[in-house]
A and B are shown apart, each in its own frame.
Chain A
Amino acid sequence: MSVYKHTYRAYGGRITPLWTRVLVLARYAFAEAWSSKITVALFTLSLLPTVVFIVIIYVANNPIARALIMRGSSREFAIDAHYFFLILQTQSWIALAITAWVAPRLISYDLSDNALPILLSRPISRFGYILGKLIALLASLSAVTWIPCLLLFAYQAYSSPGPWISDNLRIAAGLLVGAVIWIAFLSILGLALSSWVRWRIVATGIIFAAIFVPAGVGGVMSAILRTRWGFLLNIPYMMSVLWRRLLGAPDFMRFGGSLPTTAIAAMLVIICMASVAMLNARIRAREVVRG
C-alpha cells in the first residue's frame, strides 16, 4: 500500500467560456479543410465565375465599354434580381462541390483514427464537437457564397447611378438569407453523410448522390403522376424556387404551379432533422457495436 503524501494539487485556476473551446475544434477543422490542394483548387475555381460576373456588371454600367462590346446589337444587360439569382445559383453549386470534398475530411479522419474518445474526454460535448466542424465548414462555404455575392451587389451599387441600391435592397437580403440557408443545409447534410462512411471518396460521391438521385426520382414521379409534389425530392429545383422568391425574381411554374414556400421549408427542415439524427447516432466516443 502506498503512503500517500497528498502533495498533488489539481488545477484550480480560471476557466474560459465554453464557446472559446468550440473554436479550438473549429480551428482544427478549418486547418484540416484547407490543408488539401483540391480545396484550394476548388476555391480558386469558384473565383472565376465571380470575375466574369464583375466584368458583366462593369460593362452593364459603363456606356463606353457597352458600346464597344455590343456593337450593332440591341441586347440589354439588366443587372436585376434574375442576374443575382444566376450569381447565387452558380456560387451555390460550387459550394456543393466544396462541401462534398471538405465535409468528409472533417469527420471521416476522426472516425477512422478513433479520435473521438480523446476529443470528447474534454469538457466539450458531442454538440460542441459538431458545432466546431460546422463553424469551419460554414466559414469555408461563406467564402464562396454570400461573401462574393454581396461584394458583387456592393460593386453594382457603387457602379450604378443614383437610386439603384435603395430600390434593390431586397436582393442583398435575399442573397444573404438564400446563401446562408443553402450552406447551413449543405453543411449539416454533408457532415451527417460523412459520419456514416469511413472512406472519404465514397462519402464525396454519396453527398452528390444525396442531392441528385432523389431529384431524378422526384422528376420521374412528377412526370408520371403529373403532380408538382414530386419536386419536393428535387433539392436543386426547390432551392432555385426559394432563391427566386427571396430575391424577388420571377417564379418557376411547372405542372400547374410551383411549390409553396412552406412546403420547401418543411422539406429542408425534415432533411436537416434526419441529418441531426444520423449525427447523433454516429458521433459517439466509442465504436457502436451492433448486436
Chain B
Amino acid sequence: MSDRIIFDNVSKFYGEILGVNRISLNIPPGITTLVGPNGSGKTTLMNLMTGLVQPSSGSITVLGISPGNATEFFRNVGYCTQFDSFPRGLLGWQFVLDSLLLHGMPKSEAYKLTMEALERAQLGDAAGRKIAGYSKGMRQKIRLAQAIAHHPKVLVLDEPLNGLDPVARAESLALFQELGRQGMHVIISSHILDEVDRISDRVVLITGGYLIAEGNIHEVRQEVRDKPMQVLIRCDRPEVLASKMFAVNHCVEARLHEDGKGVFLRTGDIDQFYFMLNGIAAEGLVKIDAVTPADDDANAIYQYLIGTDGGAS
C-alpha cells in the first residue's frame, strides 16, 4: 500500500465555476497545511481528498485507495468539516459513538474507541451534555473527536482552530503534532497561519483554484527569489553590523529591532549573506547571539505569493 495522497492532474468544475484546476500533488505522511484566501479551493481540495466530490478530470488516490472503494477508503480517512452540523438532540458521546457505528464498528469496540477519542480531544465532562448547549470551541473538539475516533490514517481538518481559545488551540496543535509524528497524514486548512506554521512539515498554497506552491516551508521560501529574505540577527552592535553588510552590498534593507539588540536585514542572496556574516563574526567586530529567518514562514509566503487581495503577485 502506498503511503501517499496523490492528486494526478485533478480539476473540479461546478458547472461553469472553477473549483480547482490541474492540481498535481504527492503528499507524504506528516502535517500539511493548505493555505489560501477564501474561495481559493481549499475546501474543494479537501472534499476531493475525502471522496465527497468526484473530480471532473484527473484521478485521486489516498494511500493507494480510490474513493470508489468507499468502505476501505473511509476507514482510512477522517474528516472534520468546518460546518456546525450535528444531528439534533444528541449528547456529545452519542455523536461520536453513532459516527463509529456508521463506520461499521461493532458496538463494544465503538464504545471503547468513543471514550478514547473523547479523552484525546479533551472534552471531559462536556461529553455527557447535549451538543446543542456546547460553546463553539467544544463543537470543534467534538468534531475533532469524531474525526479521529475510528483511527484513520489520513486526518483532514477544515479550519480546526476556529473558535478555540488559546489554550485549546495549543492543545489541538499538540495533538496534531503528535499524530503527524506517529506517521499519520494530517491535512489542515487554517487561517491562523502563525500557529499552524509551527507544526507544519509542508505547505500547499492555492488561490483561485490554482496551485501556487507546495513543499517544505523553507524550501518554498527559498524558491521565492524575487522577494529578498529577511533575517533577524541578535547582536551587541546592530548598527555596525548593518553598515558592514551594506558596505559589502549584500543587503537591500535594514531595520533595527525595537529593543535595540538586533537588526532585521533583507538580502537577495542568502548563501552569500551567511558567508559574509561568518566573516564579520570572525573579525570580532560584532558579537552575534542568534540568527533567525524572519520571513521564512507560511504567513510570509502567503503574503509574497498570494498577497492580501488574494491574487497571485
Contacts and interface: CB of A to CB of B under 8 A. Distances in A.
Contacts of B253: none
Given A121-B50, A122-B103, A289 B15 contact: yes
B201 interface: yes
Contacts of A117: 47, 50, 52, 79, 81, 83, 85
19 contacts: A2-B181, A2-B201, A8-B184, A11-B113, A15-B71, A24-B101, A31-B89, A35-B88, A109-B88, A110-B85, A113-B83, A119-B85, A121-B74, A122-B99, A122-B103, A123-B73, A289-B15, A290-B14, A290-B15
Contact of B87 (A115, A121, A124, A288): A115
Contacts of A114: 81, 83-85
Interface stretch (B146-154, B167-175, B240-248, B255-263): B146-154
B98 interface: yes
B30 A1 contact: yes
Contact of B79 (A11, A25, A109, A118): A118
A129 B141 CA distance: 25
Given A13-B105, A291-B16, A125 B70 contact: yes
B290 interface: no
A122 B113 CA distance: 16
Contacts of B43: 286
Contact of A123 (B14, B71, B85, B143): B71
A8 B85 contact: no
A109 B87 CA distance: 9
Interface string B81-124: 10111111100000000110111111001000100000000000
Contacts of A285: 47, 52-53
B77 interface: yes
Nearest to A288: B14
A9 interface: yes
Contacts of A16: 101, 104-106
Nearest to B69: A123
Contacts of B143: 118
B75 interface: yes
Report, nearest first, the 5 A-B pairs whose CB atoms are least far apart.
A291-B16, A291-B15, A115-B85, A285-B52, A289-B14
Of the four ranges (under 10, 10 to 19, 20 to 34, 35 or more), the interface on chain B belongs to 35 or more
Interface of A: 1-11, 13-18, 20-21, 24-25, 27-28, 31-32, 35, 109-110, 113-125, 284-286, 288-291
Nearest to B44: A286
Given A11-B151, A28-B87, A6 B183 contact: yes
A122 B74 contact: yes
A110 to B, nearest CB: 7
Given A7-B183, A285-B52, A15 B104 contact: yes
**By CB atoms of chain B within 10 A, which of A10, A15, A123 has the most?**
A123
B105 A4 contact: no
B154 to A, nearest CB: 10
Nearest to A121: B79
Nearest to A124: B102
Interface string B17-31: 100000000000111
